[in-house]
Amino acid sequence: MTPTRAASRNRLHDSTHRGLTRDGHTIAYTVHGDPAGVPVVVLHGGPGSGSQPGVLRLFDLACMRVVMVDQRGTGASTPRGRLRHNDTQRLIGDLEVIRAELGIARWGVVGGSWGAALALAYAGKHPAAVSDVVLRGLFLTSKREVRRLFVTSRARASRGWRALMHAAECERASSLSSACVRLPAMRHVQANAVASAWRAYESAILVQTSSRASMSRKKRMPGRDDATTAKYRIQAHYLMHGCWLGERRLIALAKRAVAAGVAIRAVHGLRDPVCPPDNLHRLMRAVPAVQGRFVDAGHLASDPRLARALIATIREAFLSR
């Protein structure tokens, strides 16, 4: 099914909005599609981005029950940008509580970028709760990837990179990542400036490898100062702590999930400038059971080629039985 046809069918199905309160956080989530359909939870990227409704076009809501969760401090979850009691283990705990609230015995997990890392971590921690995993643009939570974003990729968007260096009051390229992850401790004015420059730099990198359609969707996303700063507060907080994972631990969790019978499929853009294709190669070498597919596309799920591959992979994982 093409993305357009899937979106047309999906408009026929209503959604419900719910909330879960834990540790002073209200975690917002929505449920879409057929209540009796194949259950799947969608994990957004960032960290800090919040759920994107456009992702629903990847699913056939006539026969799927799709749960979209705004992780702590993101999207519609409140307090926005809150860092206290906000870490990977607590996000995993939230997923288990939501699954139990919805009466779901086992569900599939679909995650992109940071959400792909969280999907592997969750499946490794709770394999009995997971049927299958589908990944897009895997982030391995390594220092190597963070350095690539802040240092190696500067040639892709030199103007945006210089603006970020200036906003972070950083003099050496090698210090930029450590300067940016201190965003939560910055004065309000500087934090806003760094968050805005960080967002612009990421967008400038993405635009070079993304289709015109996918970038036009990204430009329509809200860019208010408070929302942008909240997003990058979360992202900085997670990057500062290595997302409480790291590549070796994440791969070990993927191995544990596979050993317990969880099938893992992955789609990755060959021109992904944020999460390099080698990330998926690394996972597949370490965990040969992972079924990987490379596509001539960038990082965003809204890229038409990546979207088509994801739709096919999701159908194969959840609807081909």
Tell me, yes or no, whether 31 and 70 share the same domain: yes
pTM of the model: 0.92
* pLDDT (average), residues 214-239: 75
Tell me, yes or no, whether 103 and 238 share the same domain: no
In this structure, are residues 86 and 73 in contact, taking their beta carbons and an 8 Å threshold? yes
Written as six digits, the tokens of 300 are 């965003």
* Last residue within a domain, chosen from 188, 218, 242: 242
Cα–Cα distance measured from residue 210 to residue 17, given in angstroms and rounded to the nearest whole number? 31
Tell me, yes or no, whether 247 and 173 share the same domain: no
In this structure, are residues 108 and 131 in contact, taking their beta carbons and an 8 Å threshold? yes
Sheet holding 291-295, edge to edge: 15-22, 25-33, 64-69, 38-43, 107-112, 130-136, 263-269, 291-295
Query: pLDDT by residue (tens digit) across 262-291?
Result: 999 999 999 999 999 999 999 999 999 999
Angle at 221 between CA 28 and CA 180, to 5 degrees: 85
Tell me, yes or no, whether 132 and 265 share the same domain: yes
Please tell me the predicted confidence (pLDDT) of residue 200: 96
Phi, psi of 235 (to 5 degrees): -60, -45
Cα–Cα distance measured from residue 155 to residue 161, given in angstroms and rounded to the nearest whole number? 8
Tell me, yes or no, whether 16 and 127 share the same domain: yes
* pLDDT (average), residues 187-206: 96
* pLDDT (average), residues 46-55: 95
| Number of separate domains in the chain | 2
Please tell me the predicted confidence (pLDDT) of residue 10: 45
Please tell me the predicted confidence (pLDDT) of residue 48: 97
Tell me, yes or no, whether 257 and 284 share the same domain: yes
> How sure is the predictor about 210, in pLDDT bands with cuts at 50, 70 and 90?
low
The enclosing H or E element of 177 equals helix 176-180
Model confidence at 219: pLDDT above 60:
no
* pLDDT (average), residues 212-235: 69
Tell me, yes or no, whether 262 and 193 share the same domain: no
> How sure is the predictor about 7, in pLDDT bands with cuts at 50, 70 and 90?
very low
DSSP 242: G
Tell me, yes or no, whether 41 and 134 share the same domain: yes
Written as six digits, the tokens of 1 are 């099914």
Please tell me the predicted confidence (pLDDT) of residue 222: 46
* Last residue within a domain, chosen from 189, 218, 242: 242
CATH number at residue 70: 3.40.50.1820
Cα–Cα distance measured from residue 273 to residue 204, given in angstroms and rounded to the nearest whole number? 11
* pLDDT (average), residues 108-128: 99
Q: Give the contacts of 152 (CB within 8 A, at least 6 positions apart).
A: none
Q: Which residues are catalytic?
A: 113, 272, 299
* Last residue within a domain, chosen from 242, 261, 292: 242
Tell me, yes or no, whether 65 and 208 share the same domain: no
In this structure, are residues 112 and 137 in contact, taking their beta carbons and an 8 Å threshold? yes
Cis, bond preceding 47 (omega within 30 deg of 0): yes
Tell me, yes or no, whether 151 and 134 share the same domain: no
Domain residues for the domain of 205 are 144-242
In this structure, are residues 177 and 151 in contact, taking their beta carbons and an 8 Å threshold? yes
Tell me, yes or no, whether 152 and 136 share the same domain: no
Tell me, yes or no, whether 159 and 76 share the same domain: no
Q: Give the contacts of 320 (CB within 8 A, at least 6 positions apart).
A: none
The larger pLDDT score, comparing residue 296 to residue 16, is at 296
* Spatial CA neighbour of 275 closest among 119, 133, 138, 117: 138
